[in-house]
Structure 1
Amino acid sequence: MSEATVGPGWTVNRLTGSVGAEVVGPDVRQFDSQGAARLLHLLDNFGVIFLRGQSKSPRDLAEFARSFGPVLPAHPMKPGIPDLPSILGNETGNVSARDAQCRDIHNRQGTNWHVDCTFMPQIPALSLLQAAVVPAAGGDTLFSDLRSAYDALSAPLRRLADELHCRHDARKLYPEWLRPDADPELRERLLSTKPVTHPMVMRDARTGRKSLLLNPNCVTGIVGLSQFESDTLLSLFTTHALIPERTVRWRWEEGDIAIWSNPRLLHNYVLDHGSAERRIYRAMVDYCPIMRATAAHERPGTAQT
């Protein structure tokens, strides 16, 4: 990528042959719409961008996120941190052996491969993470590119995926909220969040490129298929998406910021840092102009009653 494309003062270092780049030069505390346009152009190419040595202040993260469009609430069902309703605080420590136990083939008890908030009728367009406190070792974040996964499918499987729609249900993500001893408010909030359907294939409004939309933490099935057929196909598509050649792994340092196209990338957090503290802040930007069904028989984001 030429300097004319990237712009003066920035250096782009590819992290893998397929996805992810570190961009050297931007300062999120001195950022404007022109810089945001440049980063969005890089996101179209690399999917996820990493910025080293930035601010650790969640307020700076909120301001940086605002450069890209309307900043969304921190989470559909969880509050933001005090005085910053758009910032979700993820504080983890004392990781146990149970946290890392497999719940199913793609999910563990403590974390999972996921796209942010697909259980809502509209999906956030961009997600951002900021490292405030990181362990001396461990706690990395993994990303997998669903665009290259779609491109690498055989033609018959691409045609099949183009016609499929998946059910997304927050109850799969938060089953502990349904236990008898759970917080009644959380239980009611979860029960009032109705499952939705989204197409399995999305088309990016800017680039026209297609990508799979997979989310193992809340997809419960494929519309119109038996559970056996659905589970088999979802396992095939997801396993295909998670091969090493489509992934990048980021080792956090304090002050790092990552920004990515939320529907295009699965991401996951590695539970290998034991008792060490880890504090990561998240922001989400705008609802997705990428939301375009590739099959005409069902609109994306349809609520299930």
Structure 2
Amino acid sequence: MATVVRDEQTTLTVTPLTGSIGARIEGVDLSRDLDQETADAIRRAFAEHAVLVFRSGRDATPEEQHRLAALSGEPQPLQVFQFLGRMQAGITFDPGSRIVASDAASAPKQSAQIKRQDLQSLGIAGEFDGWHSDSSFCHFLPKAAVLRAEVIAPVGGDTGFASLCAAYEALSPIMQGWLEDLRAVHIIPEGFKDGINLASYGADAEERFDAFFPPKEWPLVVRHPETGRKALWINPGYTAHIVGLKRAESHALIRFLARHISSTSFTYRHHWQKGDLVVWDEVFALHRAPDDFAPHERKVVRVTAGRQKPTA
């Protein structure tokens, strides 16, 4: 447990949630602008733990969510939505399991919607239990994503997070050394374009989308820019091939690494309570969306902020 005394009456407390990922932050009032010392302490905790939980016990507001996101950079949407012309940073996952890009995160309007059956193609379901990072075929990823619960299911609905730093560090030195020289190709998953209703943007929309988002190569091992820790940059559903390996070799390695990162030794499962705000690093932590709360309702809002590129 780490503490930062800001004045005689106020103390910020950082309490780890597991030995590998996640920490709970207490003593922060997100309803007002943060002083520099508090902001820096939160950024340090974020770099160390990759996932931070802010629990107030009252309804968190969109303003508080954006204030927290802004600690990692300008709130902005995923690059996919920027390409489509939507500049709002909020995405709403509503009780009908539909994803809506909205002008106001708490008040979604008509926009591209993704039904439950489309979620598998977006890396939110499938062989590897839905572990993913968002749209790693893009030219950059968000630095941070902040999730706020508006409707909490009475059972189920937990959100999982996995540490890619801990996953890398658990590999043997020989495997670590070999992987450091490899690069992986990340692609647009099958069904992704249908999921974002790409055809509605014109007859040439798919051609323009493919031209803007060709297969993207990233290092298989990346380094955190602040802590220096190395991480295993594998993204199930998006990582299609390991450069230089034969198809069977690449497939076997991807399957092994994707299963490795989902070990309970590297994960944290967040059980939502009223007023929670959860922020995670989109490169150094994978997340998974739950599908175990039916027939109950669940509604969460995600805001992304900042930009980063995974680098060796």
TM range (shorter): 0.7 to 0.9
Cα distance, 1:177 vs. partner? Answer: 4.9
> TM-score, normalization: structure 1?
0.81
Say if 1:177 and 1:278 are closer, same or farther in 2 by CA, change over 3 A.
closer
CA distance in 1, matches of 2:59, 2:187: 35
Tell me what 1:113 maps to: 131
Cα distance, 1:158 vs. partner? Answer: 0.4
CA distance in 1, matches of 2:5, 2:88: 35
CA distance in 1, matches of 2:17, 2:118: 27
Q: How does 1:258-297 map to 2 (within 5 A)?
A: 258-288=278-308, 291-293=310-312
Is the Cα–Cα contact under 8 Å of residues 28 and 64 in structure 1 kept in the other structure? yes
Partner deviation per Cα, 1:249-291 (whole Å, 9 max, x = no partner):
0011232111122211111011011132222111222112x63
Q: How does 1:74-93 map to 2 (within 5 A)?
A: 74-78=77-81, 85-93=88-96
**Counterpart amino acid of residue 25 in structure 2:** V
CA distance in 2, matches of 1:197, 1:233: 16
Cα distance, 1:129 vs. partner? Answer: 1.1
Cα distance, 1:220 vs. partner? Answer: 1.1
Which of 43, 49, 67 is 1:63 aligned to? 67
**Counterpart amino acid of residue 153 in structure 2:** P
Is the Cα–Cα contact under 8 Å of residues 57 and 132 in structure 1 kept in the other structure? no
Q: How does 1:163-174 map to 2 (within 5 A)?
A: 163-172=181-190, 174=192
Which of 124, 137, 146 is 2:142 aligned to? 124
> TM-score, normalization: structure 2?
0.79
Cα distance, 1:234 vs. partner? Answer: 0.9
Tell me what 1:301 maps to: none
Partner deviation per Cα, 1:13-47 (whole Å, 9 max, x = no partner):
32222221211221222242432211121122222
Is the Cα–Cα contact under 8 Å of residues 143 and 265 in structure 1 kept in the other structure? yes
- Give the aligned CA root-mean-square deviation in angstroms: 3.3
CA distance in 2, matches of 1:246, 1:274: 27
Tell me what 1:222 maps to: 242
Cα distance, 1:153 vs. partner? Answer: 0.7
The runs of 5 or more residues in structure 2 that have no matched partner are 99-115
Is the Cα–Cα contact under 8 Å of residues 132 and 235 in structure 2 kept in the other structure? yes
Say if 1:6 and 1:228 are closer, same or farther in 2 by CA, change over 3 A.
farther
**Counterpart amino acid of residue 275 in structure 1:** P
Tell me what 1:52 maps to: 55
Whether 1:24 and 2:26 are equivalent positions in the alignment is yes
Whether 1:39 and 2:42 are equivalent positions in the alignment is yes
CA distance in 1, matches of 2:207, 2:142: 23
